[in-house]
């Protein structure tokens, strides 16, 4: 059986496939930064992939995500005769199921060790010993956007004892003016370094008097090999913020 040729339009899935099936990937987006040194054709962004370039690579499979990629682009790929596998990831258990599905579709014959280790690292988490801290989680500024309802990152934080203060919002990624965010009276502000790159000098100053946790966006929002180290990395950043 010939190896499956894969184009990935999702950074998380790019890392998962490249780690598990070296050589399977023939194309990835400009935002696919892991693993380091990945030598494949670049096919544009997650929101504006180059359909002609992808088609020219003659992949057996294009892997995408219903949130990160636009439906018209996926429809155009299918119209070009390509098979497109689309994942949906809103919770951690769903992420593990979808990773299994993607890797199997890409030709993996066995479950990779990193996936078992990632699942074990989350299963072994102790139950929080105090009521959840309420946090607002900005993902953009100018305008301010935050995590709302039904998000993977929100589920990840909940497992670490952090309650998303905006989880009841009807939108998944609502735009909320800064005064309204502060009016939710959060215990904590969680500032990831992607998609907006919040830093110690860009973000915390907007929330005077509130502890701010600067966290890795890859650990908070990616579902792939980074899931194995995410519990410790995120918990450490959260603890440092509230000391």
Banded model confidence at residue 243, pLDDT cuts 50, 70, 90: low
Find residue 76's DSSP bridge partners.
Answer: none
Instruction: Please give the structure tokens belonging to residue 237.
Output: 């950043």
**pLDDT class of 126 with cuts at 50, 70, 90:** confident
pLDDT for 127 beyond 80: no
Backbone angles phi and psi of 164, in degrees to 5: -70, 115
Domains of the chain: 6-111 (3.40.50.1980), 133-242 (3.40.50.1980)
* pLDDT value at residue 240: 84
For residues 209-235, one letter each, b for 16 or more C-beta atoms within 10 angstroms of the residue's C-beta and e for the rest, the string is: ebbbbbbbbbbbbbbbbbbbebbebbb
Q: What is the mean pLDDT of the chain?
A: 94
Q: Could you report the per-residue pLDDT of 76-111, keeping only the tens digit for each?
A: 999 999 999 999 999 999 999 999 999 999 999 999
Residue 184: pLDDT band with limits 50, 70, 90:
confident
Is the per-residue pLDDT at 1 higher than 60? no
Residue 41 pLDDT grade (very low, low, confident, very high; cuts 50, 70, 90): very high
Q: How confident is the model at residue 211 (pLDDT cuts 50, 70, 90)?
A: very high
Q: State if pTM tops 0.95.
A: no
pLDDT at 129: 66
Q: Which range (126-135, 144-153, 164-173) has the least confidence?
A: 126-135
pLDDT in tens, 144-167: 999 999 999 999 999 999 999 999
Question: Would you list the DSSP string of 183-241?
Answer: HT--SEEEEESSSS--BTTBSGGGSTTS-EEEE-HHHHH--SGGGGTHHHHHHHHHHHH
């Amino acid at each position: 059986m010939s190896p499956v040729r894969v184009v990935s339009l999702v950074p998380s899935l790019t890392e998962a496939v490249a780690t598990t099936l070296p050589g399977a990937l023939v194309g990835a987006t400009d935002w696919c930064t892991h693993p380091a040194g990945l030598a494949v054709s670049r096919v544009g962004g997650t929101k504006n992939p180059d359909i002609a370039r992808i088609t020219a690579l003659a992949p057996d499979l294009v892997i995408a995500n219903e949130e990160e990629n636009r439906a018209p682009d996926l429809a155009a790929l299918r119209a070009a005769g390509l098979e497109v596998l689309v994942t949906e990831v809103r919770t951690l258990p769903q992420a593990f199921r979808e990773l299994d599905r993607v890797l199997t579709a890409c030709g993996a014959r066995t479950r990779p060790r990193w996936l078992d280790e990632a699942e074990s690292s989350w299963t072994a988490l102790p139950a929080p010993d105090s009521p959840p801290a309420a946090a607002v989680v900005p993902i953009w500024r100018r305008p301010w956007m935050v995590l709302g309802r039904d998000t993977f990152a929100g589920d990840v934080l909940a497992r670490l004892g952090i309650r998303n203060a905006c989880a009841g919002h009807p939108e998944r990624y609502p735009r909320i003016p800064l005064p309204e965010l502060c009016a939710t009276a959060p215990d904590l502000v969680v500032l990831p370094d992607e998609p907006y790159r919040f830093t110690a000098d860009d973000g915390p100053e907007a929330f005077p008097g509130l502890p701010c946790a600067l966290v890795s966006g890859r650990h908070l929002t990616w579902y792939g090999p980074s899931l194995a180290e995410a519990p410790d990395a995120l918990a450490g950043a959260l603890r440092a913020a509230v000391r």
